[in-house]
Structure 1
Amino acid sequence: MATFIALTHTEEHDWSQPEYEDGLREYVDFEEAHADVLRGGHALYPTASAKLVRAPDGDGEQPVVSDGPFAETKEVLTGFFLIECADMDEAVEIAAKIPAVQYGTVEVRQLHSSLGV
């Protein structure tokens, strides 16, 4: 078995709003239907709440921290699922059932086992 991450890239939504209740239910249904292979996952707060940490500029010893990311794009990283499967084909098959596929993109990558913490 291998572990994969499915990164959802969609327009940002405030899932606490009543108009998104049906969409939220789709995610709950997905999680229940795939509980045997899901090892975790979460929606992310909006990109406006993010901080970027970069290597120090010049002679500075402290990392540079800034608000962000800022990009003029409709789709942003909005969440992730950890999936434990036999191979990439199975991970893609499961990722294709994530509701985000209907209105965004799901990126699937295998976790590099030698770098785990």
Structure 2
Amino acid sequence: MQYMLMFYENEAEIAAQRDQAERAGPYWGAWNAYIGALYEAGIVLRGDGLLPPAAATTVRLEGGNRLVQDGPVAVTKEQLAGYVVIEVPDLDAALSWAARSPSSSHGATEVRPVLPPPNQG
């Protein structure tokens, strides 16, 4: 089964870790080790890190009109920082990988099954 692991981090905390030299090394080291382990296990299908929410643009349709808003929709302290799609035997395996994510110890990791493609027949 395919699962998307979505990594949520506290925006202010992550900015501090990235900007302070003594914290940046351990922060990036933990992420490099985790992502490396995912790839080494051969379960990653695709994935990306994301730029901060300030780089986002949100689109809505209201009354047939397109409304464009700078930034994310939700006002929250946590941001979606990136994702990977993995292929593992079951939800328990996906949850095990999610628990190893650095975001699980200072934010959250959401695990969601990927919708299979429609039948092509």
TM-score by length of 2: 0.79
Q: Structure 1 residue 80 and structure 2 residue 87: aligned?
A: no
Structure 1 residue 39 displacement after superposition: 2.1
Q: Structure 1 residue 95 and structure 2 residue 98: aligned?
A: yes
Q: Structure 1 residue 34 and structure 2 residue 38: aligned?
A: yes
| Contact kept? 1:51, 1:67, Cα under 8 Å | yes
The CA RMSD measured in Å over matched residues stands at 1.9
| Contact kept? 2:7, 2:82, Cα under 8 Å | yes
Task: Mark the CA change 1:112 to 1:70 in structure 2 (over 3 Å): closer, same or farther.
Answer: closer
Task: Mark the CA change 1:33 to 1:59 in structure 2 (over 3 Å): closer, same or farther.
Answer: closer
Matches within 5 A, 1:1-117: 2-12=1-11, 13-14=14-15, 17=19, 18=21, 19-35=23-39, 36-55=42-61, 57-58=62-63, 60=65, 63-69=66-72, 71-114=74-117
**Cα separation, 1, equivalents of 2:89 and 2:56:** 33
| Contact kept? 1:10, 1:78, Cα under 8 Å | yes
State the SS of the aligned residue for 1:113. Answer: coil
* Percentage of matched positions with identical amino acids: 29
State the SS of the aligned residue for 1:45. Answer: coil
State the SS of the aligned residue for 1:32. Answer: helix
**Cα separation, 2, equivalents of 1:110 and 1:42:** 17
**Cα separation, 1, equivalents of 2:73 and 2:89:** 36
Moved more, 86-95 or 16-25: 16-25
Larger helix proportion of the pair: 2
Aligned residues: 111
State the SS of the aligned residue for 1:34. Answer: helix
Give the residue type in structure 2 aligned to 1:84: E
